[in-house]
Structure 1
Amino acid sequence: MANLLARPTITREQAFLRACNQASNLPLASERLREGATAINCMGLSFPNRLGIAAGFDRCGKLGRSAGNLGFGAIELGSWTQENWPRSLPAQHSEAILNTRLGIRLAATAPVSPEQETAQLLHLIESAWFTADYLTIAPDWLQQAVPFRQLHRNLLRLREALQTLESQTRKFCPVVYKLRVKPGNEEACNLIPYLACQEVDGILISFDFGKPVTDAHYRQWRDPELQASTCRTIEACQHHLNGSSALLTNGGVCSRQNYLDRLSAGADLVQLHNALVFEGPDIGWKFSQ
């Protein structure tokens, strides 16, 4: 049983090493990426294409911006916490593609209250501010049974601190709020109208059946109706946003058609993770061109 449980982890580690090796061995791919897709302005940033790598694949930044050599316009690192903060931070620029965007996913550790979680997140945001092009957070109080007044107070506290930080540093670093959505149970999307009114920089809809993700679980996403349901959710979310915030999505993107369908449904950026693990590092070029 222990070996069976360890296999997904081993597979992911092997996939990550293959991706790092391939990215470092490829010639500079800026011209190929530029010719293969249309750049997009999103959250005040320019992305060379709309395909990214989700957090969890590259935890510390070893691949980092070199993900551009695999056909990706962005990569999200992490999750980073106070306890697992990398000893060395990824360079702000890479010898690969200079405009491949670098996001960092931040997470509080065992907070005892929404207020403590917010304080931890603010500390992490300050620490990652100059390294990241954008940041992603998923406060527990955003999707738990927290009184609305308390939720609103913590969101405002984050927004005001971010405005102060931007003013002090003269650096713009958009923040994306991640919502976990189990396919078929889309209650998290009820928060979309509220977040749209708050004009947050971005919202990440992450479709997730839970861990671990095995090859068999990954293949479940081949179901056309399951894919169609995710697109309907994205369409509904985009309808509420009406351009007020960027809409990102990940989870269950297994083919180029899945990727195109989510863009057509209204996603601004689409992230991969498990497709890299089970399909290999070439998947980026196959999707983006």
Structure 2
Amino acid sequence: MANLLARLARTREQAFMSACNQASTPLPAWKHLAERVSPVNCMGLAFPNRLGIAAGFDRAGKLGRRAGNLGFGAIELGSWGRENWPERLPSKNPKTLLGTRLGVRLAATKPESPEQETAQLIHLIEKAWITADYLTIAPDWFQQPAPFQQLHTNLRRLREAQQALESQTRKFCPIVYKLRVKPGNEDACNLVPYLGCQGVDGILISFDFGKPVISAHYRQWQDPVLQANTCRTIEACQRHLKGSSALLTSGGVCSRQNYLDRLHAGADLVQLHNALVFEGPDIGWKLSQ
């Protein structure tokens, strides 16, 4: 197992370096594709397209907004926390083919209670506020048994902190709440109607079989039944939301058809990660053209 994990880590690092290199010298053909993109509005922000890179691929922001040279309208950095905050923040406005939006995924470090985790997240939100176009958080207390009043109180604290920052800085920075969903067990989606009623900016439904993601596990997503069930889950979430919050999704997007199916099911933005590792850094243009 140790050797397998080491090989997987090398494969991912090589894929990331390849993406950074190609983003530094985009192909001429990509420039023509960039001229034909269709911008969209989501969460009060303008995105060049609906395709993004999920957190975990670019942890420190080395690729950052240069993901626009690879055909991505958004990229989510991190996760960032107290113990792994990058020493150097990504460039604010590099010259790229697409004006890629920069998201930052924030994560508390070993919290002892839901209240402590919420306090850590508020501190991280304040720290990342100016750098990011939007933020993503996944509080552990979302998906652990807990009294509803505790959940509601902590969510209210996060929402009030966001509103205070908007008032103080005069900057709008949407916050996306991530729900991890194991395909075939969509219990986490039960929170979607509640979050929509609370008026959160966005909800990310992340379909995840767990770690490590090796090539064989990635290929599981070629099952059309699995893809169809995933789209039905997205459709159900969108019916609950009725446009009250943006719906984002990640996990299992391996082809242009997968991407289009997620959009047709009701996703506003679609993220990928493992496809960059197993299909190559030009997957963004292949999916979004």
TM-score normalised to the size of structure 1?
0.98
- Indicate the SS of the match to 2:203: strand
Q: Distance in 1 between matches of 2:279 and 2:81?
A: 29
Per the TM alignment, residue 211 of structure 1 is displaced from its structure 2 partner at its CA by: 0.2
2:61 corresponds in structure 1 to 61
Which amino acid in the other structure matches residue 256 of structure 2? Answer: R
Q: Is the Cα contact below 8 Å between 1:34 and 1:48 reproduced in 2?
A: no
2:159 is paired with a residue whose SS is helix
Deviations 1:179-212 (A, max 9, x none): 0000000000000110010010000000000000
2-structure distance, mates of 1:229, 1:235: 10
CA drift at 1:31? 5.7
Letter in 1 for 2:192: I
| Counterpart code for 1:279 | E
Give the structure 2 partner of residue 95 of structure 1.
95
User: Once the 2 structures are TM-superposed, how far is the Cα of residue 276 of structure 1 from its aligned partner?
Assistant: 0.3
* Residue 34 (structure 2) pairs with residue 33 (structure 1): yes
Equivalent AA in structure 2 for residue 198 of structure 1: Q
Partners of 1:84 and 1:60 lie apart in 2 by 9
Which residue identity does 2:92 align to in structure 1?
Answer: Q
C-alpha contact 2:72 2:98 (8 A) present in aligned 1: no
1: CA distance between counterparts of 2:98 and 2:264?
Answer: 28
Shift of 1:98: 6.2
1:30 touches 1:96 (CA, 8 Å); kept in 2? no
**Hey, what's the Cα distance between the residues in 2 that align with 1:142 and 1:19?**
33
Paired residues of 1:64 and 1:77 also in contact (CA < 8 A): yes
State the SS of the aligned residue for 1:180. Answer: strand
Q: Distance in 1 between matches of 2:31 and 2:158?
A: 36
* In 1: Cα distance, 2:97 partner to 2:61 partner: 15
Which runs of 4 or more aligned residues in structure 1 lie more than 6 Å from their structure 2 counterparts after TM superposition?
none
**Corresponding residue SS for 2:57:** coil
Paired position in structure 2 for 1:241: 241
**CA separation in 2, counterparts of 1:131 and 1:50?**
21
What residue is the counterpart of 2:80 in the other structure? 80
Deviations 1:227-257 (A, max 9, x none): 0000000000000000000000000001100
- The amino acid of 2:167's aligned partner reads S
User: Is 1:130 aligned with 2:166?
Assistant: no
Secondary structure in 2 matching 1:77: strand
Structure 1 position 32, deviation (Å): 3.0
Q: Indicate the residue corresponding to 1:154 in structure 2.
A: 154
Superposed displacement of residue 9, structure 1: 1.1
* Alignment-derived partner of residue 175 in structure 1: 175
* Equivalent residue letter for 1:196: G
Are 1:163 and 2:173 matched, yes or no? Answer: no
CA drift of 1:91 comes to 1.6
The alpha carbon displacement at 1:143 in A equals 1.0
Amino acid at match of 1:12: R
Q: Distance in 2 between matches of 1:169 and 1:103?
A: 18
Q: Size of the alignment, in residue pairs?
A: 288
Q: What TM-score do the two structures reach when normalised by structure 2?
A: 0.98
Query: In the alignment, what sits opposite 1:117?
Result: 117
Tell me the distance in 2 between the aligned counterparts of 1:280 and 1:153. Answer: 43
- Offset at 1:27? 6.0
Do the aligned partners of 1:132 and 1:173 also contact (CA within 8 Å) in 2?
yes
- Paired letter, 2:147: P
Gaps of 5+ in 2: none
Letter in 2 for 1:202: G
Residue in structure 1 matched with residue 17 of structure 2 by the alignment: 17
2:205 is aligned with 1:205 = yes
Aligned mates of 2:98, 2:166 — CA distance in 1: 23
